[in-house]
């Protein structure tokens, strides 16, 4: 299995997940770059995997469905009614497959109530739940819900590759350095950001992403300075609120 990165819109990532000559596209924010990538890779597009319902992740669906009638369209069961053409609504733990390779879905409510991560062949497609060095805003859930979702992702095997929805990594790491100014791993990652910065790994995120580090004394202290209690959800909520206004 291999993954082709497909930049979309201003700073979005879609992904072609390819097994043999068959592909699924994750989060097609627009159709044209995806269609060009399908032609370039010489594959048959069979499926769309939508991590959540926001238009910058599914806005390309009408064009893809017009160009490739009969596509399988997978989405989380809470978001499926908000996404055009869904053929299968997925619950937490449901399995899916691409050309015989099986994966499973993690329900990650917080950014949206139906947000999901597609986990397949050592890769996690996290949409706007987990970013490189950061996480999505909490739009439809609450901090405790988002914290629990991120903890589930942090528990994936360390070598799991993380394919996220936006190129926000540089800005996220500036914030991470403000939260943990003495974190050598963050400083090193700032110096070594690749272009594009996707994929990351769970191991790297656990070492450098403040939203996966609510248990770390320095992050607890930074949150405490903003009035948070020491429990994980409170720490996360304080750090997320700080990031919302961080320049």
Catalytic site positions:
52, 54, 56-57, 111, 128, 166
181-195: burial string, b at 16+ Cβ within 10 Å, e else: eebeebbebbeeeee
Q: Per DSSP, which regions of the chain are E strands?
A: 2-8, 12-19, 22-26, 44-49, 72-76, 88-90, 95-98, 101-107, 116-120, 123-127, 130-131, 134-135, 161-164, 200-201
Q: What are the CB-based long-range contacts (under 8 Å, 24+) for 35-44?
A: 35/63, 35/64, 35/67, 37/4, 37/6, 41/4, 41/16, 43/16, 43/18
Query: What burial class does residue 91 get, using C-beta atoms within 10 Å of its C-beta: 0-12 exposed, 13-18 middle, 19+ buried?
Result: exposed
Any idea what the Cα angle at residue 69 is, between residues 68 and 72, rounded to 5°?
90
Q: CB burial class (10 A; 0-12, 13-18, 19+) of residue 40? A: exposed
């Amino acid at each position: 299995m291999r993954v082709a990165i497909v930049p979309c819109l201003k700073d979005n990532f879609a992904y072609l997940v390819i097994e043999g000559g068959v592909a699924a596209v994750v989060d097609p924010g627009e159709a044209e770059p995806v269609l060009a990538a399908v032609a370039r890779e010489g594959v048959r597009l069979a499926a769309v995997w939508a991590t959540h319902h926001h238009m910058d992740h599914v806005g390309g669906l009408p064009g893809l469905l017009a160009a490739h009638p009969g596509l399988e369209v997978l989405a989380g069961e809470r978001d499926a009614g908000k996404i055009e053409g869904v053929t299968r609504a997925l619950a937490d733990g449901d399995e899916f497959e691409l050309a015989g390779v099986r994966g499973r879905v993690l329900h990650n409510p917080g950014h949206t109530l139906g947000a999901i991560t597609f986990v397949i062949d050592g890769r996690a497609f996290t949409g706007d739940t987990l970013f490189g060095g950061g996480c999505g805003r909490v739009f439809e859930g609450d901090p405790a819900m988002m914290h629990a979702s991120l903890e589930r992702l942090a528990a994936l095997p360390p070598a799991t590759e993380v394919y996220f929805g936006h190129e926000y990594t540089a800005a996220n790491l500036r914030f991470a350095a403000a939260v943990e100014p003495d974190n050598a791993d963050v400083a090193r990652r700032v110096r070594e950001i690749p272009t594009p910065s996707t994929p990351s790994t769970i191991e790297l995120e656990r070492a450098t992403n403040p939203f996966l580090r609510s248990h770390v004394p320095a992050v607890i202290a930074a949150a405490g300075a903003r009035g948070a209690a020491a429990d994980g959800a409170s720490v996360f909520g304080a750090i997320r609120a700080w990031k919302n206004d961080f320049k």
